Chains A and B, each alone.
Chain A
């Protein structure tokens, strides 16, 4: 059972940066500008990614898009399976979300359950005109009918693999995306 840990890099810092810039351009294109857009990062690593997308939009469009963050812990569907509970983090939304275009941002899209929880939580804050989903990595294995609108990279994985996204704001060091297998 003591399988050795192996780590394979799938994106380096430059590739991550380009993927984020491309997502930002796609968001502006899809929404014909970003006047109504709010970026909301899902804690934790979705938050710095949302801030970087906002920076890329500022560079490309000259518009400062508001960035918020959402912590979905209190909306999880697996809390009863997790002992003890995970620590709750803060949720801050930049103003009223009703009528706006929300772009939810997360690092990895996997089962879709995190996104389900985020959608439920947002519905308790207001009624956005539309909600779109941007992820750096889509690793497949969905358990709910959820898909991303903007994807940095599609990454076919096995269920026993893990995808680790390193962002310097949280993890320190260099940005990068890794597939990790074996002992965690």
Chain B
């Protein structure tokens, strides 16, 4: 605007959706980080709002329970001045039998520019993306992907430890059911981290499958060994609602072998980070004293979630095909 190109333009193919991290390059992840740093600054202002998405409509379709992701996306959209509508299956026409695609077509006709979707079926956001003219953000689908969570995890690691490359990251617990673990695997692999999956065999499944998809990873069934030299300890929630009978002998048995305790954290590197995507089963996969210890980044994960989601909405709006 000053008559020469003062603004640095992003050099990347225009992205329209955020469905998983498998199609994010390292450069693109770093661009998300840079935008998120700026959004964090916006969130420290007295007026935590900028007009960049004024007049745009963001619809949160949460067909599965959520506190932090839904509130976080809602605050992110509002901080960018978008109009935000949040829906849950209960109380919508879904309870009258309306299909997902009918809902999407209705929202499109009502003028939605972004759909943020959480769904219990893996792949649901991809179906929506095929039938919606705007942008789709996957806020968690089945056990498949949760890209905004993985990005905020990566961002938090980078913020606390400075770098991600070469760090030993141990993902612990209910990996079988975890979309957070899968998206983190893509992101951590792209950023050059060394990932160890640590779980009982029944909560992991076939070792070969994991190594085929993410060749660099290591698999461990012994948490006391796996924590040695770790930079990041990422506990996952034991997803009892998805749990089939017989996967675990008992919660107490699971906890004895796979809970993050202060003793286990002490065997990792001194500055190691403790993370958890929430919600937590305190006393099962993580102990209360670990949650509140100085090494815990769990609260920062939540705070950073808003900035990351603001960054994603901002970058998508810039790359969208529709006339936003």
Q: Which A residues contact B (CB, under 8 angstroms)? A: 43-45, 71, 73-76, 78-80, 82-91, 106-111, 113-114, 120-121, 124-126, 139, 157, 161-165, 180, 184
Contact = CB atoms under 8 A, between A and B. Distances in A.
A110 B3 contact: yes
B221 to A, nearest CB: 44
B51 interface: yes
A137 to B, nearest CB: 8
A86 B51 contact: no
A83 B13 CA distance: 10
Contacts of B4: 108, 162-165, 180, 184
Contacts of A165: 2, 4
What range describes how many residues of B lie at the interface?
35 or more
A84 B38 contact: no
8 contacts: A74-B38, A74-B80, A76-B1, A87-B8, A89-B38, A107-B2, A113-B1, A164-B4
B15 to A, nearest CB: 8
A124 B47 contact: yes
Nearest to B7: A86
Nearest to A179: B3
B49 interface: yes
A74 B41 CA distance: 12
Contacts of A89: 38
Contacts of A121: 50
B255 interface: no
Interface of B: 1-10, 12, 14, 31, 34-35, 37-39, 41-42, 45-47, 49-52, 80, 314-315, 317-319, 323-324
Contacts, number: 101
Given A88-B314, A111-B1, A75 B50 contact: yes
Contact of A84 (B9, B41, B42, B46): B9
A84 B10 contact: yes
B55 to A, nearest CB: 9
Contact of B10 (A74, A87, A124): A87
Given A74-B42, A85-B317, 10 more contacts: A71-B38, A73-B7, A75-B52, A80-B323, A83-B318, A90-B37, A126-B46, A163-B2, A180-B4, A184-B4
Given A83-B318, A84-B12, A110 B2 contact: yes
- B6, B12, B47: most-surrounded residue (chain A CB, <10 A): B6
A80 B56 CA distance: 11
A45 B6 contact: yes
Contacts of A86: 7-10
A111 B41 CA distance: 28
Contact of A87 (B35, B45, B51, B323): B35
Contact of A85 (B37, B45, B315): B315
A19 B314 CA distance: 38
A110 B6 CA distance: 13
B49 A124 contact: yes
Contacts of A75: 50-52
